[in-house]
Structure 1
Amino acid sequence: MTQFSFSLAARSGKARTGTISTPRGQIRTPAFMPVGTAATVKGMMPESVAETGADILLGNTYHLMLRPGAERIDRLGGLHHFMNWEKPILTDSGGFQVMSLAGLRKLTEDGVTFKSHIDGSRHELTPERSMEIQRLLGSDIVMAFDECPALPAPKERIAASMQLSMRWAARSREAFGDRPGHALFGIQQGGLEPDLREESAKALTDIGFEGYAIGGLAVGEGQEAMFGCLDTAPDMLPEDKPRYLMGVGKPDDIVGAVKRGVDMMDCVLPSRSGRTGQAWTRRGQVNLKNARHQDDPRPLEEGCSCPACRNYSRAYLHHVFRSNEMISGMLLTWHNLHYYQLLMSEMRAAIADDTFAAFEEKFHATRALGDIERI
Structure 2
Amino acid sequence: MASSILSDCSSSATARLLPFHRKLHTQDFRFHRSVSIPLRPPSPTSSRSAASRFWSLSAVTPVAMTTDTSAKLIDGKMVAKQIKDEIAGEIAKMKDAIGIVPGLAVILVGARKDSQTYVRNKKKACEAVGIKSYEVHLPEDSTEEEVLKHISGFNDDPSVHGILVQLPLPRHMNEQSILNAVSIEKDVDGFHPLNIGRLAMQGREPLFVPCTPKGCMELLHRYAVDIKGKRAVVVGRSNIVGMPAALLLQKANATISIVHSYTKNPEEITRQADIVIAAVGVANLVRGSWIKPGAVVIDVGINPIDDPESPRGYRLVGDVCYEEVSKIASAITPVPGGVGPMTIAMLLSNTLDSAKRIHNFK
Q: Structure 1 length as normaliser, TM-score?
A: 0.29
Q: Structure 2 length as normaliser, TM-score?
A: 0.30
The structure where helix makes up a greater share of residues is 1
Relative contact order (alpha carbons < 8 A, sep ≥ 6): 1 or 2 greater? Answer: 2
